A and B are shown apart, each in its own frame.
Chain A
Amino acid sequence: MRFFNNMRIRDKIFVGYLLAILAVVGVAALSWRYLTATDERFEQAVGRDVPQIRVLEHLRDKAAALIHAVDVFASRTAVNQLRAGSTDTLTAKRAAMQDAERDLAAFLAALAGDLRAAHAGEADPRNQILAAGAAVLDASKGLIARADNGATANDLLEIAEDFDASASQFRTLIDGAIASEERALATMHEETRAAQGQATWLIGGGVLVLILVMLACGYTIANRIAQPIVRLRAAMVRVGEGDLAAIEESSTRDEVGSLVDAIRAMVGRLQEASKELGESEVKFRTLVGNIPGVFYRCANDAAYTMEFISPPIQDLSGYPASDFIGNKVRTYASIIHADDMDLVNKTVEEGLNQRRAYVIEYRVVHRDGSHRWAREYGQGIFGETGELLHLDGAVFDITELRQALDQAKEAMDKLSRQERLAALGQVAGTVSHELRNPLAAIRNSMALIRQLTADKGLGVERAVDRVERNIARCNGIISDLLEFTRKRDLNRTATAIDGWLAEMLDEHTVADSIAVVRELASNGVVALDRDRFRQVMVNLLDNAAQAMTVSGWSPTDGRQLSIVVRTEAAGPHVRVSVTDSGPGISSENLAKIFEPLFTTKASGVGLGLPTVRTIVEQHGGTIDVESTVDVGTTFVVWLPRQTAEAAVPDAKDKEQAA
């Protein structure tokens, strides 16, 4: 079996054919030999028996001739004696009888010789024939001798009758021998026919067995060749499914065996390569995972299906990478701030159209609701025929950078504003101070005029009143300017802003036509300079009220005039907002609203909001404004929430008092 296993398939098939041919030849030779042998035996039997039959037939003919000659002689002799006729014819008859006698004797002698040679000592029926023949001869000789001795015709006829009896016995024996020989021959023939029939069946059976054996051998060989291929196929399927160890060592050394070995070697190398790839992918993932940026690859389909995104996406968005891969839970687009979506789409589209890398900065909406600034370096990956396959990119969280930049910018703005304010303050301070004296002189003079003209009916009272009123106005403006330009330190107290605001709103009233709505829900504590921050709130409330009661404006939809004062917790901040339902501010004016000396009011210096801003910033907060024309304006103040550890012990007492 080992030898067979190690044979090549070509040799296996060759050997199979060779064996088949040998078997066919062998069966053919054997059956030919068998048939020939049977034939030979039959021929031998025929060759032996047929001449014997011929000999016996001869013998019968010779005996018949003798009997006939004896009969003729005996009857002639008897006739002659009766008639005492010539003896010439008798002599001839006698000669003929003696010829026949000699002929038979010679034949018997020859036969006897043959018999003796062939069947010496056997009780062959032919010995009886010989004995009977000898008796016939003796009888014929006795007849002649009796005839010569002058026997009577009656004696002769009697003798002839005896002779006939022995001759008749002799013929019966010969006929019996012939019949026996012929029967033996027939039996032999039948036996031969039977043997040949058997041989035919035997040969047919042999051929059938041979065919079955050849079929079995062929099937076995085919199976032995096919089986490893079938196993290989099954193993290959398992390899395809990822089981790289699926291929067993081949059991044969033929072509299939070497094929299996070659594939085994190949899969082994594949396994190694796969392992190396796995290792390098682990390296890659570790590397990518450690870089503080998000790397991604997405498909170029309608949904930009994410194929890979690195784990730091969790830091950026609050959602795990697995959420995004295959767009399983959410798409990347879903975390991009809605306001930035158009910019992102436009930039990506342009980049892809021009086939160049693009850089976009946009906001990502974090799971916790906060916004993160992201900078993305992206590009399209194109196939050989120029079709877009993927979008690749790296996204970095630049929130801190952005915040730092914003802070730097803000600080610079603040600095330049402070510089300008300082310069302005200096000039304003000087000018205001210089104005106070002339104004004092005017006021004093007007007081004098009032006294001098009192009760004189000159009709100057209206004018004097007007002068005094406007002197007071000038003094107010000078005070505002000095207040704005004077740098004051804050006197801060930990304050529960909601309670404090409620109290403040109770004290400060606005026009009856305006509803003041309180939504105070920050629960925040802020380190507040209460007097200064009251200024902020009064300013914002008065601005709102003035905006809504300015002459010549009324809400187009007849809505309730309202001021909503709202506080909310916003991470580390408390958000305080004042919203009016007034006419709104144009974007042009909105941009300049915090600039000193900018005002849209007919009266006013334009220092209210700059002062508010200064105070808010002194508290470490910021102030924003949003406005929609004909809808209203919202001022939002963000104040830093006081942390527990920063809270001074007495802050709680004050809070409770508030």
Chain B
Amino acid sequence: MSRANVMIVDDDQDLAESLAELLEMSGCSVTTAANGKEAVLSHGKQDFDVTFMDVRMPVMNGVDSFFEIRRLKPDAKIVMMTGFKEAIVTKALEAGAAGLLSKPFDIEAMLAIVGDAA
């Protein structure tokens, strides 16, 4: 597996950290962001093979962040993560989000997506 460049966006620091550690163990390069705005700023600095985006976050939510990033980079691959079946997510999916991971999800599912992206 090549070294994939992955971004995890989640305001739950423990969750973001644990996912990052697991992905790094699988050989990925992982950047974390605590909210949608930080994610947009990171995307301005570098490209990611895949971005995992939580929906409910302070400052800027995942869906708004999704649209911001797509405006900068129309081909960016963004997978939405959600603990609730929020209606707002469907807007991102209809607009071309790469997929949806419902919390809690198996780390294998995430690794499979990263594998496809690399």
Instruction: List A residues at the B interface (Cβ < 8 Å).
Output: 462-463, 466, 469-470, 550-553, 601-603
- Check if B58 sits within 8 Å of A466, measured CB to CB: no
- Provide the residues of chain B in CB contact with A602, threshold 8 Å: 11-12, 56-58
Say what secondary structure dominates the interface of chain A: loop
- Provide the residues of chain B in CB contact with A462, threshold 8 Å: 21
- Check if A553 sits within 8 Å of B14, measured CB to CB: no
Does B59 sit at the interface, judged by CB under 8 A?
A: yes
Distance in angstroms from B17 CB to nearest chain A CB is: 7
- Check if A463 sits within 8 Å of B12, measured CB to CB: no
Q: How far is the CA of A552 from the CA of B58 in the complex (A)?
A: 8
- Check if A552 sits within 8 Å of B18, measured CB to CB: no
Knowing A463-B21, A551-B35, A552-B35 are in contact, say whether A470-B14 is a contact too (CB < 8 A).
Answer: yes
Distance in angstroms from A584 CB to nearest chain B CB is: 15
- Provide the residues of chain A in CB contact with B17, threshold 8 Å: 466
- Check if A550 sits within 8 Å of B12, measured CB to CB: no
9 contacts between A and B (CB under 8 A): A463-B21, A466-B14, A466-B18, A470-B14, A550-B58, A553-B59, A602-B12, A602-B57, A603-B11
- Mask, B39-81, CB within 8 Å of A = 1, is 0000000000000000011111000000000000000000000
Nearest 6 pairs of A and B residues by beta carbon:
A552-B59, A602-B11, A466-B14, A602-B58, A550-B58, A602-B57
Given contact pairs A463-B18, A551-B35, A552-B58, a sample of 7 additional A-B residue pairs in the complex whose CB atoms are under 8 Å apart: A466-B17, A466-B18, A470-B14, A550-B58, A552-B37, A602-B12, A603-B11
Distance in angstroms from B53 CB to nearest chain A CB is: 14
- Provide the residues of chain B in CB contact with A550, threshold 8 Å: 58-59
Say what secondary structure dominates the interface of chain B: loop
Q: How far is the CA of A126 from the CA of B21 in the complex (A)?
A: 199
- Mask, B72-98, CB within 8 Å of A = 1, is 000000000000000000000000000
Distance in angstroms from A233 CB to nearest chain B CB is: 90
- Provide the residues of chain A in CB contact with B11, threshold 8 Å: 602-603
- Provide the residues of chain B in CB contact with A552, threshold 8 Å: 35, 37, 58-60
Distance in angstroms from B93 CB to nearest chain A CB is: 22
List the B residue with the shortest CB-CB distance to A602: B11
- Check if B56 sits within 8 Å of A469, measured CB to CB: no
Distance in angstroms from B13 CB to nearest chain A CB is: 9
- Provide the residues of chain B in CB contact with A601, threshold 8 Å: 58
- Check if B35 sits within 8 Å of A469, measured CB to CB: no
- Provide the residues of chain A in CB contact with B14, threshold 8 Å: 466, 469-470
Interface residues on B, range: 10 to 19
Q: How far is the CA of A642 from the CA of B118 in the complex (A)?
A: 71
Distance in angstroms from B38 CB to nearest chain A CB is: 9
- Provide the residues of chain A in CB contact with B12, threshold 8 Å: 602-603
Distance in angstroms from B90 CB to nearest chain A CB is: 18
List the A residue with the shortest CB-CB distance to B14: A466
- Provide the residues of chain B in CB contact with A470, threshold 8 Å: 14
Q: How far is the CA of A470 from the CA of B57 in the complex (A)?
A: 19
- Check if A551 sits within 8 Å of B18, measured CB to CB: no
Q: How far is the CA of A463 from the CA of B19 in the complex (A)?
A: 11
- Check if A551 sits within 8 Å of B21, measured CB to CB: no
- Provide the residues of chain A in CB contact with B35, threshold 8 Å: 551-552
List the B residue with the shortest CB-CB distance to A469: B14
Q: How far is the CA of A2 from the CA of B17 in the complex (A)?
A: 131
Q: How far is the CA of A602 from the CA of B56 in the complex (A)?
A: 6
List the A residue with the shortest CB-CB distance to B21: A463
Distance in angstroms from A601 CB to nearest chain B CB is: 8
Distance in angstroms from B6 CB to nearest chain A CB is: 19
Distance in angstroms from B12 CB to nearest chain A CB is: 7
Distance in angstroms from B107 CB to nearest chain A CB is: 13
- Provide the residues of chain A in CB contact with B57, threshold 8 Å: 602
Could you tell me which residues of chain B, from 1 to 17, have a CB within 8 Å of some CB in chain A? 11-12, 14, 17
- Provide the residues of chain A in CB contact with B58, threshold 8 Å: 550-552, 601-602
- Provide the residues of chain B in CB contact with A466, threshold 8 Å: 14, 17-18
List the A residue with the shortest CB-CB distance to B13: A466
List the B residue with the shortest CB-CB distance to A552: B59
- Provide the residues of chain B in CB contact with A603, threshold 8 Å: 11-12
Q: How far is the CA of A601 from the CA of B56 in the complex (A)?
A: 8
- Provide the residues of chain B in CB contact with A551, threshold 8 Å: 34-35, 58-59
Distance in angstroms from A472 CB to nearest chain B CB is: 11
Q: How far is the CA of A462 from the CA of B25 in the complex (A)?
A: 15
Distance in angstroms from B114 CB to nearest chain A CB is: 20
Distance in angstroms from B112 CB to nearest chain A CB is: 23
Distance in angstroms from A431 CB to nearest chain B CB is: 16
List the B residue with the shortest CB-CB distance to A553: B59
List the A residue with the shortest CB-CB distance to B36: A552
- Provide the residues of chain B in CB contact with A553, threshold 8 Å: 59
Distance in angstroms from A363 CB to nearest chain B CB is: 37
Q: How far is the CA of A550 from the CA of B37 in the complex (A)?
A: 14
Q: How far is the CA of A466 from the CA of B18 in the complex (A)?
A: 8
Distance in angstroms from A465 CB to nearest chain B CB is: 9
Distance in angstroms from A447 CB to nearest chain B CB is: 18
Q: How far is the CA of A550 from the CA of B58 in the complex (A)?
A: 8
Distance in angstroms from B84 CB to nearest chain A CB is: 10
- Provide the residues of chain B in CB contact with A463, threshold 8 Å: 18, 21
Distance in angstroms from A630 CB to nearest chain B CB is: 15
Q: How far is the CA of A470 from the CA of B13 in the complex (A)?
A: 11
Distance in angstroms from A255 CB to nearest chain B CB is: 98
Q: How far is the CA of A258 from the CA of B30 in the complex (A)?
A: 121
From B18, B21, B58, name the one whose CB has the most chain A CB atoms within 10 angstroms.
B58
Q: How far is the CA of A551 from the CA of B36 in the complex (A)?
A: 12
Q: How far is the CA of A551 from the CA of B21 in the complex (A)?
A: 25
Distance in angstroms from A603 CB to nearest chain B CB is: 7
Q: How far is the CA of A550 from the CA of B34 in the complex (A)?
A: 13
- Provide the residues of chain A in CB contact with B34, threshold 8 Å: 551
From A462, A552, A601, name the one whose CB has the most chain B CB atoms within 10 angstroms.
A552
Distance in angstroms from B64 CB to nearest chain A CB is: 12
Distance in angstroms from A477 CB to nearest chain B CB is: 13
List the B residue with the shortest CB-CB distance to A603: B12
Distance in angstroms from B95 CB to nearest chain A CB is: 22
Q: How far is the CA of A602 from the CA of B12 in the complex (A)?
A: 8
Q: How far is the CA of A462 from the CA of B58 in the complex (A)?
A: 26
Q: How far is the CA of A588 from the CA of B108 in the complex (A)?
A: 38
Q: How far is the CA of A313 from the CA of B60 in the complex (A)?
A: 55
List the A residue with the shortest CB-CB distance to B10: A602
From B11, B14, B35, name the one whose CB has the most chain A CB atoms within 10 angstroms.
B14
- Provide the residues of chain A in CB contact with B21, threshold 8 Å: 462-463
List the B residue with the shortest CB-CB distance to A550: B58
Q: How far is the CA of A470 from the CA of B34 in the complex (A)?
A: 18
Q: How far is the CA of A61 from the CA of B47 in the complex (A)?
A: 192
